[in-house]
Amino acid sequence: SVFMTVFNVHANWVPVAGEVQYVKHHSGRFMAANLPKSSTDNERSTIVIRTANGQDILIRQIAGAIARRIVTYVEPGETVDLNDFIGFIKFGSRVDIFLPLDTEIMVKLGDKTWGGETQVARLAK
């Protein structure tokens, strides 16, 4: 998960090239985005991108206690490239990326990440 405070940039970028398979907005609560249950209970948007290797990567934009507006710009059937603009979450929020189990994680808990610059993971081939 990447947690963003009100002082961070809340733009979200595509973490992997592929074709958008699924996009859905889920209504929900507005708990603090750093709480574990916010991933399933808060208002959120779910996006699934299928890579050229057939791996499905799930991205979840999660609203927080202050962030109550999620904007998602991609749609099913759209081809996206690494670091394309995927959307925006206004104010404090969180983005979860669900990856295959054999993925190499490139960041540690507590690392500061930079949107469109920090490589958070490397997919197995």
Write the DSSP assignment of 107-124 as a string of letters: S-TT----TTT---EE--
93 is catalytic: yes
Cβ proximity of 36 and 106 under 8 Å: no
CB atoms within 10 A of CB 91: 18
User: Annotated active-site positions, please?
Assistant: 93
